[in-house]
A and B are shown apart, each in its own frame.
Chain A
Amino acid sequence: MTALLEVIDLKKHFPIRGGFLGGTTAHVYAVDGVSFSIEKGETLSLVGESGCGKSTVGKAILRLFDLTGGQVVLDGKRIDDMQPATLRPMRRRMQVVFQDPFSSLNPRMRVKDILAEPIRNFGLATNSKDLDDRLARLMDKVQLPRDAINRWPHEFSGGQRQRIGIARALAADPDLIICDEAVSALDVSVKAQIVNLLQDLQKELGLALLFISHDLAIVEHMTHRVAVMYLGKIVEVAKKRDLFAAPKHPYTQALLSAVPVPEPGAARQRVILKGDVPSPINPPKGCRFHTRCPYAFDRCRTEEPPLRALAGGHMAACHLHDRPDSENPLAGEAGKAVLPA
């Protein structure tokens, strides 16, 4: 089975302009060599802390800006170097739902016009009656009353606006929806509704989802596979169960241990990382995580570990896996158990 979306060595560096003539003084290495793939109907979650480049990956795939390097292949076609005219029909196949339900809808357009925009752009409706039918079906799909279509965005609550955002993404009849923190701004009960809605739609329409999130509880609830990002790179990719049961990268381990447990007084061991995330303007040499990694050794400071396959389709970028299991604190199921203080 070929992948619906394949991202190969994606790079996006933002220039920092300064000085009198606005020359480039440095770069922000927001995304620095990210590769993954998503199959039809699959959910891949991209997790990591703020500023690690998750959202940049999403926007780069959507070609909201040009890439610094790498390839994005959608259904066998490279889209990263396409001209705008050839890219436009490909845009139909991947849509986006943003985090902020308030700024993701134009306040001066009625819901009807917001939803009709992609349909008109891609010429999906044959006549005005067909358009009306499509709009009505979209409202049904996201479980909003049909007559709400003539209203303005400010008349809706956050959760309802997010439904409108999802309906707009569905309007183009896409194969892939990139959910950029799509539920992070919603309160818990609404969050659950939207997550369930996305799951139902995925089943019904066979959508692939790239679910960009920092909320591991939601990710565990709805994803098939997880990719963990740290400072512009993917450090680990695995099936959900494998990743949550036995993380193979020290960063993932720390990330999982930071998830709150809804059980007061539960015995838990936490990995507390020292220091802050280094700046993506000047990322550390070698393994990017070595400045905070409790297991770091000399090799980590000089040589960057590649992302490579371990057993069972699990992939991790860590030199520890070169060592024999007896010397590898992350071997086997051991990743779950936590390191010395």
Chain B
Amino acid sequence: MSASSLPSTVHVPAIAAPLPDVLPPFKPRRGFIGYLRKNPIMAFGGALLLTMLCIAIFAPYLWTVDPTSLAPARRTREPSAMYWFGTDMLGRDVYSRVLYGARVSMLVGFSVAILSSIIGLTIGLTSGFVRWADAIVMRIMDGMMSIPPILLAIALMALTRGSVQNVIIAITIAEIPRVSRLVRGVVLSLREQPYVDAAVACGTRTPTIIWRHILPNTLAPITVQATYICASAMITEAILSFIGAGTPPIIPSWGNIMAEGRALWQVKPYIVFFPAVFLSMTVLAVNLLGDGLRDALDPRMAKRL
């Protein structure tokens, strides 16, 4: 039994001398562009989403006409140089309707993602930190999660008038439990981190601990979750509109364009085809972006950034 298993004591002067464990060479980050180049799938998703966003914003300038103007004389025209995506049974231009429909999808997708993240973050942080609230809040969330989100959204829409705003509120409520659970789980694991204990020992107050040590470390998983919520909100919105419980028919949305084209889909499939392709591409874009973000924000993958 002796200390001879240790290397002999090296006396170190009080002022820093070059160390045996010198700092690793500083590697400049390759930056965002470099990262995208290594992750073409994420770049593709991002570019596709950006395109959709531009379409939504600049719809009036993209050779569209009023998407609600009726022209019974020119109804159910096949796609042509005049009507790129054809016209529907009331003679409205499907191209214009699809482009304007992107606005509803984008608005609903992003609003729901942002709102449910913020609300879910608040609920998750509260139940992760306030012991007595945890049991109550989480049982409520369990109850909400036992109802499929689409059914919950339909039920909520049944209580109100159909409008884009109400669609956003209904889908947000249906998505909140998922985010809250995620945040609560992350908070509970972060609370046990030694650096949180060290901060407590350093005299940091609880609100500062949440703000400085907990919150920044929840943002990565939340961002990833938000992209998936965005995608699922777009689909839910389309479903609600398709069954007539969502966006009112006066506002073109991909869901209600498809609903209106449904009766004719065997003879005039293009009315359903174009909004469906746009919806799929947008959801694909968001999901690809989400996968890329997940890889990028995962600490174990940090070295690749």
Chain A residues in the interface with B (C-beta under 8 A): 22, 59, 62, 64, 88-89, 91-92, 94-96, 98-100, 103-109, 117-118, 121-122, 139-141, 143-146, 148, 151, 154-157, 159-160, 165, 168, 171-172, 188-193, 195-197, 200, 204, 216-218, 220-221, 244, 256, 259-262
User: Which among B47-55, B103-111, B121-129, B199-207 touches the partner chain?
Assistant: B199-207
Pair A156/B23 contact, Cβ less than 8 Å: yes
Given B7, B12, B16, B199, which contacts A189 in the complex, CB threshold below 8 Å?
Answer: B7
Pair A168/B198 contact, Cβ less than 8 Å: yes
**Within 8 Å of chain A (Cβ to Cβ): is B250?**
no
Pair A143/B17 contact, Cβ less than 8 Å: yes
**Within 8 Å of chain A (Cβ to Cβ): is B31?**
no
Q: How far is the CA of A218 from the CA of B4 in the complex (A)?
A: 10
- Minimum CB distance partner of B1 in chain A: A259
Pair B16/A64 contact, Cβ less than 8 Å: no
Q: How far is the CA of A91 from the CA of B2 in the complex (A)?
A: 36
Q: How far is the CA of A249 from the CA of B12 in the complex (A)?
A: 38
Question: Using Cβ atoms and an 8 Å threshold, which residues of chain A touch B23?
Answer: 145, 148, 151, 155-156, 160
**Within 8 Å of chain A (Cβ to Cβ): is B194?**
yes
Pair A121/B6 contact, Cβ less than 8 Å: no
Pair B6/A143 contact, Cβ less than 8 Å: no
Pair B19/A96 contact, Cβ less than 8 Å: no
Q: How far is the CB of B201 from chain A (nearest CB, A)?
A: 5
* 21 examples of A-B residue contacts, CB within 8 angstroms: A91-B202, A92-B203, A95-B202, A96-B198, A103-B194, A107-B217, A109-B212, A122-B203, A140-B16, A143-B19, A145-B16, A159-B21, A160-B23, A171-B202, A189-B20, A192-B9, A196-B12, A217-B6, A218-B6, A221-B6, A262-B4
Given A109, A195, A200, A244, which contacts B6 in the complex, CB threshold below 8 Å?
Answer: A195
- Minimum CB distance partner of A220 in chain B: B3
Q: How far is the CB of A254 from chain B (nearest CB, A)?
A: 13
Question: Using Cβ atoms and an 8 Å threshold, which residues of chain B touch A191?
Answer: 6
A-B pairs with the 9 shortest C-beta distances? A118-B202, A104-B194, A98-B194, A221-B3, A121-B203, A108-B216, A106-B195, A91-B203, A192-B7
Question: Using Cβ atoms and an 8 Å threshold, which residues of chain A touch B3?
Answer: 217-218, 220-221
Question: Using Cβ atoms and an 8 Å threshold, which residues of chain B touch A22?
Answer: 135
Given A103, A143, A146, which contacts B193 in the complex, CB threshold below 8 Å?
Answer: A103
Question: Using Cβ atoms and an 8 Å threshold, which residues of chain B touch A59?
Answer: 197
Pair A143/B200 contact, Cβ less than 8 Å: no
Prevailing SS type, chain A contact patch: helix
Q: How far is the CA of A95 from the CA of B6 in the complex (A)?
A: 26
Q: How far is the CB of A319 from chain B (nearest CB, A)?
A: 26
Q: How far is the CA of A59 from the CA of B197 in the complex (A)?
A: 9
Question: Using Cβ atoms and an 8 Å threshold, which residues of chain B touch A244?
Answer: 1
Pair B15/A117 contact, Cβ less than 8 Å: no
Q: Mark B99-138, 1 if CB is under 8 A from A, else 0.
A: 0000000000000000000000000000000000001000
Question: Using Cβ atoms and an 8 Å threshold, which residues of chain A touch B194?
Answer: 98-100, 103-104
Q: How far is the CB of B10 from chain A (nearest CB, A)?
A: 7
- Minimum CB distance partner of A121 in chain B: B203
Q: How far is the CB of A197 from chain B (nearest CB, A)?
A: 7
Question: Using Cβ atoms and an 8 Å threshold, which residues of chain B touch A165?
Answer: 198
Q: How far is the CB of A257 from chain B (nearest CB, A)?
A: 9
**Within 8 Å of chain A (Cβ to Cβ): is B33?**
no
Q: How far is the CA of A22 from the CA of B132 in the complex (A)?
A: 12
Question: Using Cβ atoms and an 8 Å threshold, which residues of chain A touch B217?
Answer: 106-108
Known: A104-B194, A117-B202. A262 touches B21 (CB 8 A): no
Question: Using Cβ atoms and an 8 Å threshold, which residues of chain A touch B82?
Answer: none
Pair A168/B202 contact, Cβ less than 8 Å: yes
Question: Using Cβ atoms and an 8 Å threshold, which residues of chain B touch A168?
Answer: 198, 202
Question: Using Cβ atoms and an 8 Å threshold, which residues of chain B touch A62?
Answer: 197, 200-201
**Within 8 Å of chain A (Cβ to Cβ): is B146?**
no
Given B16, B135, B197, B203, which contacts A88 in the complex, CB threshold below 8 Å?
Answer: B203
Q: How far is the CB of B37 from chain A (nearest CB, A)?
A: 22
Pair A96/B1 contact, Cβ less than 8 Å: no
Known: A91-B203, A189-B7. A197 touches B12 (CB 8 A): yes
Q: How far is the CA of A244 from the CA of B203 in the complex (A)?
A: 38
Question: Using Cβ atoms and an 8 Å threshold, which residues of chain B touch A109?
Answer: 212
- Minimum CB distance partner of A222 in chain B: B3
Question: Using Cβ atoms and an 8 Å threshold, which residues of chain A touch B213?
Answer: 106
Q: How far is the CA of A141 from the CA of B302 in the complex (A)?
A: 30
Q: How far is the CA of A64 from the CA of B195 in the complex (A)?
A: 12
Q: How far is the CA of A171 from the CA of B26 in the complex (A)?
A: 26
- Minimum CB distance partner of A196 in chain B: B9
Question: Using Cβ atoms and an 8 Å threshold, which residues of chain B touch A160?
Answer: 21, 23
Pair A172/B202 contact, Cβ less than 8 Å: yes
Q: How far is the CA of A174 from the CA of B115 in the complex (A)?
A: 45
Question: Using Cβ atoms and an 8 Å threshold, which residues of chain A touch B15?
Answer: 140
